[in-house]
Structure 1
Amino acid sequence: MSSKFWADLSNDYEKILESGFGYDVIIYVGEEPSIKEFHLHSSILCYRSQYFYAAFSNEWAEKNDGKFIFRKPNISPQLFNIILRFIYCGNIELSNLQGIDVLKLLIAVDELNVQPLISYIQEFLIEHKTEFLYQNLTDILEIVYQHETFTDLWNFCLENICEDPKILFNSDKFINLKASLLELLLKRDDLNMNEIEIWENLLKWCFAQQNIKNIDPTQWNKDDNTTIERSLRRFIPLIRFYDIEPADFFYKVYRYKDVLPQDLINNLLEFHIVPNIKSKANITPRKPNLKLDSITIESKHIPLFSSWIDKKDSSYYNKKNIPYDFKLLHRSNKNGFNAQSFHKDCDEKGATIWVAKIKDSTQLIGGYNPLDWGGNCGLKTTLDSFLFNFTDGKNISNPRSGYVTDMNAAIYCYNNQGPSMGGLHCYDSISWKHFCGSNYYPNIGIPAKFKVEDFEVFQVIKK
């Protein structure tokens, strides 16, 4: 018979950590004026951290008066203390940390080679700090590229950049991207850009790298041609030239014929001029991983919608664990901008999300109806509906949402209105009203009067 007293054991080791009793290791952590001295134990450190195991085993650690001495100026005392709590007690608490601090903690954990935490912290970042990752994808990609153990974050960044390449390609940091990192991106089959855009961005990067000010190839001399040709050489096999439209090929590719392989130019000319000639490409067209039929939102909105539907306050879904499919039922500019066509497409379809773009702005508003829109029965009751507002629909970092506060006025089902909810009335026109003073939903910044450019309704289907 065996008994387990893990809590008592953890508490005892915490006392050892805090008291430093019997210590034989001194570690100075942080930089002036915030250096903190930690008194620790080599026997515990070496079996919980591969970094310290190597230091003690190979005797490369500094030693003074029988004590091992380490200096870690690149780690903050706060983060180092979190790591020590895990090493000594097996406990870790990350929920009170900002996203940037969790990332710094991950880098510190990688340096100290505390293997169990490397995967755990990556998973925590992806599940709980999604907004921070979206806001800083380019910077994080550069950091992750330098740490081969950050495979989960690496995949997260690549998948999201490939899905929305403008995050990277339209940023000021793109022209400073490492060549090896750009090469990895151009190899991706799921890079969601038109091939001509990829080619133009590659040229922009190349010109910046070589400090080429005059981008007109007719004005280049022999040395310019040689410089550009060498800079482009490693990337040329990665461009799907055969997927570029003839007009774009002529005006945006062929003009650079002097810096491209001659056989490639000849083959492309033959492909575009001679009827029924097959492509000689040795790579297949890109296949972006797009499952959302929408011109209003992007697939990056879906984890947020799914998380709000399931009332997940902080542990948001990521794109790999979304439990719902979103099927387009109605697009006003295509199916009809009137209540009749809305109800024809959306009644008796169960739970739906609707999204409207406010005219002459980038603002998106919308709501979730967990019931249905049928019946012409006036008010429907629920505690699970919500409204949301994106000030800039392209930016998902600061959305506002609010669940219904008066369940008796959650949903309005009238044949002469669109997706009306609470104080938001979607009349049979492009002019909608929001009674901001109503108490049916929280005030999340939806205007009092506005015109709608387009709106879409999606059926929410449990996978």
Structure 2
Amino acid sequence: MYDNKFLPKLSQNLLEILGNNEFCDITIEVGNEPYVKIFRAHMVILSYRSVYLRRILSTNVNVNRNRNDGILTNIKLPNISPEIFQMILRYIYGGKLSLEEYDTSDIIKILIASNELSLQELITHLQLFLIENKKDWMERNFNMIYKISFENNSFSKLQNFCTKFMSNVPERNINPNDFTSLSEKSLISHIKNDIFQKNVIKIWENVLKWGISQNPELPSNPSNYSKDNFYTLKITLKQVIPFIKFLNLNNKEFLDKVYPYKKILPKDLREKLVKHYLNYDYRPIDKSEPKIMTRRISLGSIDSKIITSQHAELITKWIDGLRITDNMKNSYKFNLILRGSRDGFSTRTFHMKCDRQPRTITVIKVKGSNEILGGYNPIAWSWSDSFGFTTDSFIFSFKNKGNIENYVLSHVRDTGRAIENSPALGPSFGCDDLYLNGYYSYDKSFCRYSRCYDKAIRETEDYFTVEDYEIFQIMKS
């Protein structure tokens, strides 16, 4: 029968062998001057306990195979401190490591050294110990733990811990000031898993900082870049850029922050973005500084407490698929059929007044802010629980009523679920892309991130309350 009772004695004997220099056949020079210590050990034990040591020892043995001069084989481990190596060496011989007696910072150092020595069993054990026993310490020192975990492929358990922590506690995310010290791999992981994807412009700005920090010779202003400067930054960010969700930017962010660096983008991505924003969101005045322009065309007065005639002009151009600078093809009349502050906020009122009415524009004033949300539904609303199919719907937002240039326009992507109908909902678009929820007040409304439409129209998925909303039927005049 297999019995573990003999293992403690075996461990003790092996540790005694370590302490006895009589049969040692290798010296290990650990650390850097002036903090260097020489350890004596046995090649056969080191070789079978560490894949890394086996590899470098086999090289040394082949070189010295024909030597018989009594000189011990010597190897150097400059990246490990003598104190940490002594702990690991006792583990290699005795299979024991009492972590409770060490500071957490020392355990981290043991983990890093174990990775260098390819001690996989110990790597797994140390990660689990940290997660189960040192969670609070790691959260307080999260930036350091994050950086370490993603610089080493073997630390998958710590990587999972970091990813989960970032999802649950976004306010404790990586400080943007620390981005420049991240490895490429950890930067990519941060982009893929981080809450900042809900504000893509922050990710882009930090990626640029990271790329420029890797090449300190680059000018700070892209207008001063040479062809070689752009090429250098392009190569540096080649592996990072594919993970950035550029289509979640609004038009102003794209023009101000991304367009000046367009030469570092892959050609297919650059063409896609320029086509996307150029077709609907902007027309550059000159190559150096694109600007948003709009030419006012009077539609007459509009009966609205939420939008102005300028908003209405812009919305009609979106309906006709025009650029901002194009002249209007058609003249439209906005016929008000529902106003929440006048008619009420119940879903029943919405369906009674708006069902079977095609070509409607919904505009929403978000309570407690200057934000305006909205959407265009070219087909009719319905009381039934169903999705409406259309290729022509869109949703939009204005951050401030007084600035029509600062908007986000998002076109339908999943045409089979462009419109969401339900007796329990107000006017809703896509798979929660714009969702008016609440039988009587729409106080649990929200916008999810680009599920059925090509980009998010809000920077948050938090609930909002509708202060007022209006629905117009659009009619050619």
TM-score normalized with structure 1 length: 0.50
TM-score normalized with structure 2 length: 0.48
The structure that has the greater radius of gyration is 2
